[in-house]
Amino acid sequence: MIKETAHTYQFDNGLRLMHMPSPTGVAYCGISIDAGTRDEMEEEEGMAHFCEHMMFKGTEKRKSWHIINRMEAVGGDLNAYTNKEETVVYAAFMKEHFNRAAELLFDIVFQSTYPQHEMDKESEVIADEIESYNDTPSELIFDRFENLIYEGNSLGHDILGTAENVRRFKTEDALQFVKRLYRPDKMVFFVYGDLPFNKVKKKVETLNRNFLSKASTPSEHPIAPSTHIVPKPGVFIEKKETHQAHVMIGRAAYGSKNEKRIAMYFLNNILGGPGMNSRLNIALREHRGLVYTVESSLTNYTDTSTWAIYFGCDTEDVDRCLKVVRHELNKLMNEPLSTRQFNAALKQIKGQIGVACDNFENYALDTAKAYLHYHKFEGMKDTINHLEKLTPQLLQRVAQEMFDEKGLTTLIFK
């Protein structure tokens, strides 16, 4: 069982430390950086993801092989990912190897050299990744959908960028990007493990001093493009050579500071969350056999979110599926949930949250993300407290606001 307490500390250069105790001998630590796809200039599209790859390709003291082998030699794991708002590099290991993991993370984040010969090789790897993605319409449509609803905003950038762009990147481009954005005041070093906080703090303090003592004053962090999103409702069709049609319906929704975001989270779970008993799965798959996969997702950003329904079906069934989806949305708009329906849905989502928190790696990453962007720690109990304050009437008002057909964008691949 997770003990929901966290220790935090901020160093003089702005680097924040977050430590959470864990009940096992496995520990996780990493560096979350407030730099992602939305921070890219137009000519840099794909650079955040490219730099994440290149951090494993050499530092001032290590070659690629030494980076790869450093944690695996003790049975650990080193990993990273990039999304629209952050880049995260992290490790999983037995707790006695914390010092090894922490030093390696500081090395690759702050002392990577981005050698051109490695960039030339990696650009081809990423180009292949892009083409592989383009060959998978059920994944590609998510990017295309955000391209539509965030048109003109860097939130619409594809995380991978374009093959043309990544093949053009040079060492100086990468160094300029990380100098601008990989700043200690835009980072959180997080630890989730059975380790004394004072020991963790002392080690990070030493690494912070040793790795950043020679760092120059960081350049000004650029203001991200305007977050004002112009709705783009309507139906958009792209012709694809696919066996089945792929469909997304949704819109930009509430940002993190909007009190209605929890209600939207709850509604999304009722509609098409991970449970097989979600309303859309029952209506489209179980009752009518029209789809194999249907889901409703809510992707949160600091100042907005993307809500979307996805399903794949035979091309001749698209209109029928759209009518069924519209019917389910109308039901949530037209009348509030009954007390029995509300309590059942609340019981289910509380259980789902509890099960999700039992995945220690994801729990560490999620709490670090929250602390990076919002400077606060919210645990499972906090989320459940927010959910328990909801009412059927509030859910109906949010449904009426978010599910109005006039505000929805529909993208169809067929």
pLDDT in tens, 331-362: 999 999 999 999 999 999 999 999 998 899 99
What domains are defined for the chain?
A: 7-212 (3.30.830.10), 234-413 (3.30.830.10)
Low-confidence spans in the chain with pLDDT less than 70? 1-4, 213-229
The DSSP line for 61-78 is S-BHHHHHHHHHTTT-EE
Q: How far apart are the first and last CA of the chain?
A: 47
How many residues does this entry show for the chain? 414
In angstroms, the CA 167 to CA 145 distance is 25
pLDDT value, residue 1:
41
Structure confidence by residue, pLDDT tens digits, 278-323: 999 999 999 999 999 999 999 999 999 999 999 999 999 999 999 9
What is d(CA 207, CA 212) in angstroms, rounded to the nearest whole number? 8
Nearest to 193 by CA among 101, 112, 283, 322: 101
Distances from the Cα of 325 to the Cαs of 249, 281, 329, in angstroms? 9, 10, 6
Q: Is 52:41 a contact under the CB 8 Å cutoff?
A: no
d(C-alpha 157, C-alpha 49), whole Å: 11
Rounded CA gap, 36 and 220, in Å? 16
Task: State the Cα–Cα distance between residues 280 and 299, nearest whole angstrom.
Answer: 18
Three-state DSSP class for residue 28: strand
Q: Which two tokens stand for residue 248?
A: 């997304």
Position 216 scores a pLDDT of: 45
Question: Is the separation of the CB atoms in 32 and 182 below 8 Å?
Answer: no
Tell me the helix, strand and coil percentages in the chain, rounded to 5: 50, 20, 30
User: Could you give the CA distance from residue 275 to residue 352 in angstroms, rounded to a whole number?
Assistant: 9
Residue 273's φ and ψ, nearest 5 degrees, are: -70, -165
- pTM confidence score: 0.91
What's residue 58's pLDDT? Answer: 95
| Buried-state track 140-152, b at ≥16 Cβ within 10 A, e below 16 | bbbbbbbebbbee
